[in-house]
Structure 1
Amino acid sequence: MASNGRSAASNAKSNGQTVDGARVKTVFVISPIGKPSSPEHRAAKLVLDYLIKKVFLEPEWKVVRADDENAPDSITTQVIDRIVNSELIVADLTDHNPNVFYELAVAHGYQRPVIQIMKEGQSPPFDVVDQRVIFYDLTDPASVEAAKESIAASAEWLADHSDQIRSPLTAHGSFTAISNAGPGDGANEAIASALTEIVTRLGRLERAQRNSKPEREDRLRLSDLSAESIRDSRQYRMGRERFAALTNELEMLDAKIAELTSKIDFVQNDKDAPADTRDRIVRDLREELDAISQRKSELTRVLAEERRELRFG
C-alpha cells in the first residue's frame, strides 16, 4: 500500500531536495492543529502519524504540516509557499475548521493536486461536496487500512493525470495567471480579471439572496398599466427591463438545478462514503433542489403573465 503512495507522484515536479541522488517529494498536510495537548491537537497528530505518514514513507516523501515550520517569517507566507510548491496536498476537512478551508481555497486557486479526507460520521460542506472525500475512523483498523489504500490510489491517479485535476476554481485560473504575470506581461489584466470574477460571484450571491425572499411590493405589475399608453411609456421600458432580468434569473435557476442534480448523482454513486453520510447529503441537496424548483415554477408563471402584457412572442 505504501509503495502505491510512493509511486503515485513519481512524475510530479521536484522541490529540489535529494537523498542519495533521489528526489524527495513533499506532501503538505492541511488539517486542524489546535493547541498543544488539546483533544484537537492529539487527534490531528494521530491522523498524521498513523494514516498519512503510513502512506507517504521516507526517504522518498517528506510529510510537512504548518506547525513543523521553523522559519522566522510569516506563518501564512510559509503555508502558502508550501501549498504552491509541494507535490501533493492532503486536506483533512474534519470539524469544518475555517483555516483548513482557507488553505484549501488557496490550493484550489493554484490548481494544486489535493486529496481530501474526513472523519467518518461527518459531512463535507456543500461547496466541496462534489469533490471526492476519503473517510477514516482511527478506532477501526479496517477503516484505516481502506483509507490508506484510497489515499495511495488517489495520489497515484493525480500524479498520472496532472492535466485532469479539477476543483471548484478550475474554470477560473486567475491565481496562476497573477502569479505568472510580470510587469509588461499582462499583470494588471490578470489582476483585473481575478477581481472581476470575485465581484461577479459576489453579485450572484447577493442576487440569489434577494430572490430567495422576493419583495413583491417593489415589483412592477404591468397589469396595472393603461393598455393605451403602455407601448410608449416609461413603465413599458421598465417592464421590458424587468422581463429581461427575470429571464436571466430563470436561466440561472436552470443552471443551478442542473448542478444540484449532478451533485446528487455524484453523491449517490460515491461508494467510499458511509451510507448514512450519503443519505444525509442527498437529503439536504434534494431540499435545496425542491426550493429552487418551486421558485422556478413561480417565476415561469410570472414571466408568462408579463409576456402577455408586453405582447412578446
Structure 2
Amino acid sequence: MLTEQEKKTCFVIGPIGNSGSKTRIDADFLLDGIIKEVLEREPFSYNVKRADKDVSVGSINSAVINDIINADLAIADLSERNPNAFYELGIRHAFNKPVIHMIRENETIPFDNLDQRCISFSTSSWDGVISARKNLSDCVEYLSSSDYKPSNPVTLATALRAMANSGDKEGAIIASLVEKVNSLEKQFGTSLDQTPVREALNKLEAYKKYKKIMDNNYEQHGQRTLISDV
C-alpha cells in the first residue's frame, strides 16, 4: 500500500459555493461521490485535494496556484461557468499539465472548451453517477498510458503559431485552416469536427520525420531509399 508521500495528487477545480448552498452540495457530491470514489481507490490511489479542504499554513492563493501547477492530475468542473474555476483551469492549461474536464448534465460546455472531451455527471440519477465513475476511470487510465499527449486550447494555439511562423508552407496552410475553423465555430456558436485538421497535423509531423531520415540517408550513402509506413 502506498504511503501518503508516495501517492500521486489530483487537484479538483470548480465552483464550491457557500456552506449549505446548492453549489456546495453539488460540488461535494461530485468530489466525494464520484471523483474520490474512483481516484482514491485502487488501481489509482490518488490523494484528491480541493482548495477549501486544504488545511496547510500560508497564503490560500499561493497554495491553490501551487496545487494547480504541481498536481499530477487536475479535474475541472465546468458547471455554472464559475469565473474562478476558469481562471484556475487557464493556469493549468498554460503549464500543459493533464486535466480532465467534467460538467453537470444538461449544462452547456463553454465555447472555448467545446473541442475538449468533457465527462457529464449527474447529482440526481444513480445511473448517471455510475456512468460518470466509469467514464472518469477510463479517462484516468488513458492519461496514464504512453498514448496520451496533453492537448488544450493553449497548447494548440502555441503549436499553430509556431507552425505558422516556421516558414514551412504546409504548416502555414494547416494553421490557416485551423484559424478558419475556429472563426466558423465562433460565428455559429458550436463545435465543428476538427478531426481532419488534427490528422493533417499528425501527417505533417510524420512527413517531417520521413524527410529527416531521407536527408540523413542521402548524406551518408548518396542516395534516397523508400521508407514505408511513415
Q: Fold match, TM over 0.5?
A: yes
Aligned pairs for 1:285-300 (under 5 A) are none
Measured in 1, the distance between the counterparts of 2:50 and 2:34 equals 14
- The equivalent of 2:180 in structure 1 is 257
Mapping for residues 219-230 of structure 1, pairs under 5 Å? none
Instruction: Name the structure 1 match of 2:219.
Output: none
The Cα shift of 1:162 comes to: 7.2
Whether the 8 Å CA contact 2:181–2:192 is kept in 1: the answer is no
| CA deviation after TM superposition for structure 1 residue 147, in Å | 0.9
Q: Deviations over 1:174-207 (max 9, x none)?
A: xxxxxxxxxxxxxxxxxxxxxxx9xxxxxxxxxx
Distance 1:50 1:39, change over 3 A: same
Q: What's the counterpart of residue 19 of structure 1? A: 3
2:79–2:104 CA contact under 8 A, matched in 1? yes
Match of 1:100 among 81, 85, 93: 85
Aligned to 2:114: 129
In structure 2, what is the Cα distance between the partners aligned to 1:162 and 1:101? 27
Decide whether the 8 Å contact of 2:122 with 2:129 is kept in 1: yes
Aligned letter for 1:81? Answer: N
Q: Secondary structure at the match of 2:155?
A: coil
Give the whole-Å Cα distance in 1 for the aligned partners of 2:9 and 2:176: 42
Equivalent residues of 1:32, 1:44 under 8 A apart: yes
C-alpha separation in 2, matches of 1:65 and 1:75? 12
Of 59, 66, 81, the match for 2:66? 81
Cα shift at 1:37: 1.7
Q: CA deviation digits over 1:108-167, x for unaligned, max 9? A: 001110011001111111111100110011211111111111111111111214761101
Shift of 1:266: 5.9
SS of the residue 1:164 aligns to: coil
Is 1:57 aligned with 2:40?
yes
Moved over 4 A (4+): 252-255
- TM superposition shift of 1:80: 1.2
Q: Distance in 2 between matches of 1:122 and 1:165?
A: 25
In structure 1, the residue matched to 2:150 is: 165
In structure 2, stretches of 5+ residues that fail to align are: 163-174, 196-230
1:149 aligns with one of 87, 110, 134: 134
2:191 is aligned with what amino acid?
K
CA shift at 1:75, angstroms? 1.3
- Is the Cα–Cα contact under 8 Å of residues 108 and 168 in structure 1 kept in the other structure? yes
Q: Which protein has the bigger helix share?
A: 1
In the alignment, is residue 31 of structure 1 matched against residue 14 of structure 2?
yes
Distance in 1 between residues matched to 2:194 and 2:120, nearest whole Å: 16
After superposition, give the CA deviation of every residue in 1:64-103 in whole Å (9 maximum; x if it has no partner): 0000112232211111111122111011000000010000
* Aligned partner of residue 90 in structure 1, secondary structure: strand
Give % identity. 33
Give secondary structure in 1 for the equivalent of 2:103: strand
Report the AA paired with residue 263 of structure 1.
Answer: S
- Provide TM-score, normalisation by structure 2: 0.67
